[in-house]
Structure 1
Amino acid sequence: MCYFSDEQKRKSLRGTLKYEEIEAIAGSLFHRALKLQVGCGAEPTLHKDLVKIIALGKRYNVPYVSLTTNGNLLTKELLAAAVKNGLDELTLSAHGFTRETYEYLMTNGKFDLFCKLLANVTEIKKQYPQFKLRINYTINNNNIEELSRIWEVVGDELDILQLRPIQKIGESEYRDFDLTNIHARYDAVLVPLIEECRRRHITCLAPNKQNIIVLEENEAEDNSIEKITYCYVSPQECWQDDFDYRTETFESYAAAHMGRKLLWKVFGRKARRKADVTRKMNYNIK
């Protein structure tokens, strides 16, 4: 259902970083990282060195390592090895809590495998109670009513729930981006869920009601801080277009390219008030 499920987008996501390349990237960037998010735009469980990559994060003392996946290829043995080697959080993409909806919206996904993985998480958390489970649920008109089934399907092991109203961020195979009904059902569906998360001591990340219906394009907003805060790495790119992880570190690149420019952008002009509602959506911890 996400735009990475679009056939044209899938064709552009080619190539795999070899472990040796990831080691070099780790040497240049990981020591600066507060969080290592493995998997964003591709399925990380396809990488044969997944556990070694997670261990690499801990070797460089990254405080928090999270894995984002649909989970269909994540066996109990692989997950247990990942947690043993330092995985702090499993972030599962979920787009429905019935077989029909889940398999309709999750390209090539199998609901039985999703449920089996949740059972495996329960078992692994008995040995590693600090290990966290996050569910990322993209809300649309096909699945909003299924949120009431979350406890029946997910059980008691959920630590973090992120509720994400659907947005058009690519050429998706999914076409229904109307948020009117989601806004109308907010009080009946989302509010009780948020309250139940609070009762269960589960962190719930959700937009306020007004954020759902009013999404502002904010193209003029400067994103310089964002560019140096988040380092996206893929076979096609690594952080900045002209950054060479083989010969540079974060510090050497920043010293050469970012210092004065960034300081001027931050302090050299009157800061604009951040909009309450943006295309990127503002989430609140409930």
Structure 2
Amino acid sequence: MNFYKLISISRKIKSDNLKLFGVYILHILGKRHLSIRIDPSFNCNLSCRMCYFSTPEYRQNNNGIIPEQDFEHIARVLFPKALQVYIGCGAEPTTHRKYIKLIELAKQYKVPHIGIVSNGQLITDDQIKRIILTGTNELTLSCHGLTKDTFEYFMRNARFDQFISLLKKINKYKKELNSSRPEIRINYTVNQKNLSELRNFMDIIGPHHISSLQIRPVLNIGGSYSESITDSQISEYNEIINCLKNECSKRNIRLLANKTDIKYQKKNSNKKVTEAVYCYIGPKTANKLNFDWKSISFTDFTKKTQWSKKVVKMFFNDKQSSINEAAGNYDVFE
């Protein structure tokens, strides 16, 4: 299943309530309808300036791991209902030594789209091979600069040469193992200081056979740096996006770029359906909802999260989503 095609189809349906009704019907019929995001470890090996992990107070108050013995129970409860499982959602999944087991479980439960979101700095050669052999669909890697100085300035404690080496190794092992997966997606958070470097993206990253590039203006999420591009830089930003659109088209690279709402002033056009399908699991989820993964069923889980009540309310209410609205606004160029 091409999950990006599904997103494109969803965007063509203008009625939020029609999409929401479709999700509700899938739920009633016991079909797959969830986009599950899991942080197996709420820790990070880096201290990226644009991220909340860059502040000591946040690190001190937010940490923990999901015990390995809970992985199978989480999978039993949620994975049969998942269209998509992503390992990593704000924290660094590779700081959990058994994170690949979650990928293997997702494959076991036949989840159509399985991905990992990582800074890539801790991924070993053996783990690359295991990720390939599990049939992982997508590996999303953070890259917030295209020179050594900028990359290592924003991604503190990371090494640019290690990032480039990882890209080379992934393609090397994919070739050796005769696999087209995982596709590589690069996430680039653009700001005042790293905007101009995007002009050189294809020279630096192009040779490493990526499949997707997401460009997203920086959001203030509590990091130590949140300087968005200035009004005077917007024309340069749009020019660069247009150039990248052409270059990505030539190379069959999917481009996801926020071009129509650079300042995040519009509501998320998929707000309701995003809220309905989004399911976050982290180290504190079970405690917050007061249950044990070993004994809970999917029906119990939806009751604890009050999923049905929330969806019904959304039919008649335009209340703001608990998920950042603007973060979902980007254009998909294929």
Q: State whether residues 179 and 213 of structure 1, in contact with CA within 8 Å, keep that contact through their aligned partners in structure 2.
A: no
Per the alignment, do residues 240 and 283 of structure 1 end up closer, same or farther by CA in structure 2, a change over 3 Å counting? Answer: farther
Within the alignment, does 1:176 sit opposite 2:188 as a pair?
no
In the aligned structure 2, how far is the partner of 1:239 from the partner of 1:182? Answer: 45
Q: State whether residues 218 and 226 of structure 2, in contact with CA within 8 Å, keep that contact through their aligned partners in structure 1.
A: no
- 2:262 matched to which residue of 1? 212
What TM-score results when the alignment is normalised by the length of structure 1?
A: 0.86
- 2:128 matched to which residue of 1? 79
Moved more, 175-184 or 192-201: 175-184
Q: State whether residues 211 and 281 of structure 1, in contact with CA within 8 Å, keep that contact through their aligned partners in structure 2.
A: no
Give deviations 1:228-269, integer Å, cap 9, x for gaps. 411111111259735653332333443684435533532xx3
Which ranges of structure 1 fall in alignment gaps of 5 or more residues? Answer: none
Q: State whether residues 231 and 239 of structure 1, in contact with CA within 8 Å, keep that contact through their aligned partners in structure 2.
A: no
Task: Give runs of aligned pairs for residues 263-274 of structure 1, distance below 5 A.
Answer: 263-266=312-315, 269=316
Within the alignment, does 1:248 sit opposite 2:289 as a pair?
no
- 1:159 matched to which residue of 2? 211
Does the residue aligned with 2:86 lie in a helix, a strand or coil?
A: strand
- Residue-pair matches, total: 277
- 1:137 matched to which residue of 2? 188
Q: 1:198 aligns with which of 238, 243, 249?
A: 249
Give deviations 1:32-59, integer Å, cap 9, x for gaps. 1111111122211121112222101111
- 2:60 matched to which residue of 1? 11
- 1:66 matched to which residue of 2? 115
Q: State whether residues 197 and 203 of structure 1, in contact with CA within 8 Å, keep that contact through their aligned partners in structure 2.
A: yes
Deviation at 1:216, TM superposition (A): 4.7
In the aligned structure 2, how far is the partner of 1:229 from the partner of 1:271? Answer: 17
Moved more, 130-139 or 244-253: 244-253
Does the residue aligned with 1:232 lie in a helix, a strand or coil?
A: strand
Q: 2:139 aligns with which of 90, 114, 127?
A: 90
- 2:331 matched to which residue of 1? 284
Q: State whether residues 135 and 161 of structure 1, in contact with CA within 8 Å, keep that contact through their aligned partners in structure 2.
A: yes
Does the residue aligned with 2:261 lie in a helix, a strand or coil?
A: helix
In the aligned structure 2, how far is the partner of 1:55 from the partner of 1:214? Answer: 37
The runs of 4+ residues in structure 1 deviating greater than 4 Å are: 221-225
Moved more, 106-115 or 126-135: 126-135
Amino acid at match of 2:211: D
Q: State whether residues 215 and 281 of structure 1, in contact with CA within 8 Å, keep that contact through their aligned partners in structure 2.
A: no
Q: 2:70 aligns with which of 13, 17, 21?
A: 21
Instruction: Give the percent of matched residue pairs that are identical in Structure 1 and Structure 2.
Output: 31
Per the alignment, do residues 180 and 251 of structure 1 end up closer, same or farther by CA in structure 2, a change over 3 Å counting? Answer: same
- 2:166 matched to which residue of 1? 117
Amino acid at match of 2:331: N
Which ranges of structure 2 fall in alignment gaps of 5 or more residues? Answer: 1-48
In the aligned structure 1, how far is the partner of 2:92 from the partner of 2:307? Answer: 32
Amino acid at match of 2:65: T
Does the residue aligned with 2:120 lie in a helix, a strand or coil?
A: coil
Higher relative contact order (Cα pairs below 8 Å, separated by 6+ residues): 2
Q: State whether residues 39 and 68 of structure 1, in contact with CA within 8 Å, keep that contact through their aligned partners in structure 2.
A: yes
In the aligned structure 2, how far is the partner of 1:98 from the partner of 1:178? Answer: 19
